[in-house]
Amino acid sequence: MTFRAPYRGGRHFLQIPGPSNVPDRILRAMDYPTIDHRGPQFQVLARKILADLGELFGTAQPVMVYPASGTGAWEAALVNTMAPGDQVLMYETGQFAALWQNLARKLGLVTETLPSDWRHGVDASAIERRLREDREHRIKAVCIVHNETSTGVLSDVPAVRAAMDRAGHPALLMVDTVSSLGAVEYRHDDWGVDVTISGSQKGMMLPAGLSFNAISAKALAAAERGGMPRSYWNWQDIIQANQKGSWPYTPATNLLYGLSEACDMLREAGLAQVQARHARHGAATRAAVAAWGLENNCANAAEFSPVLTTVRMPEGHDADAFRAIVLDRFDMSLGQGLGKLSGKVFRIGHLGDFNDLSLMGTLAGVEMGLALAGVPHRAGGVQAAMDVLREHAARRH
């Protein structure tokens, strides 16, 4: 049995919102021979990567690197800073926020959820009100998702930090950036974040398998005072090993080669320019959705995600049936609806190693698929997106 589909001419369009396409440069970098992870050559690589990550996260503080998915980074953030029975305030903006809550409960934490309709981002004023009510400071952490991959909604992290400061509350601020790091502006230190969680497989353009915790001095102090029993996730062990250019366990050497290359590529392109490209592709995709007469799941224009667009299906039409037609006829994978949105939406990823022509091919496949699936829509989405891209190109020259 093989995992491969039968050969079809051209490239497969992987337009899910992560894992994203891995560029050839990163694939070739990962193809290097494995080296001794305790030797001097590896120490040079490790020190370079840790410096690169500080630049990417916008921090002068330590960044932990784990051979794990983003779920591991969620767990690492909590077990290093929280004790069983501690209370955490978690804002449910979508499926990934809900999964993080479930993980926290399994660790023995008391989770308090601020719910949403899965169409809006974090309401900083709601967090401020709840923290003001917590006069005994029982809440030890506020946990939010920066870019909710299930809903296509981007939340305002600086607004949450400002709300916490106005409330005068000492809780830690933890932010999931698994789908935003490298694609959307993010500044760990300047925005007053205590633990930033991220992963390798989206804006970083790598395969899944690496995850990160960027930590503040306040978070590190909390870990030194307490936390849960931990070994693999222990920040202190990693910090001590990193000072020598190593890790306290066997690292994912070839993924680290790829990480080094990804950081080089983002620097060469210019991080601000990469973020502008994501914003441009988000705007063009939303123009296409509007021209089709379909509805963006994100209900607030100020919170549109530059990473993906989540499209609501007309009543009586199944998103997964539409996705199956697109995959069969055009060899393109679109993201499925998750959790409460299962079958109700499809998600167009426009992130990572991606350009204007890739987007046009993606949107052409969607428009043709809508017609084949009998989904009520208007023609002209591709042209509307092209007009947006043409306008941006004219402004650049």
Q: Which residues contact 11 (CB under 8 A, 6 or more apart)?
A: none
Residue 98 CA to its chain's centroid (Å)? 15
Query: Mutual orientation of helices 95-106 and 70-81 as an angle, nearest 10°?
Result: 50
Structure tokens at 337: 């609806």
Cα–Cα distance, 212 to 199 (Å, whole number) = 6
Rounded CA gap, 25 and 29, in Å? 6
CB half-sphere exposure, 221, CA atoms < 13 A? 7
108 within 8 A of 88, measured Cβ to Cβ: no
Annotation-wise, does 277 bind a ligand? no
CB neighbour list of residue 339: distance below 8 Å, 6 or more residues apart: 94, 95, 98, 118, 150
Residues in the annotated binding site for substrate: 347
Residues in the annotated binding site: 347
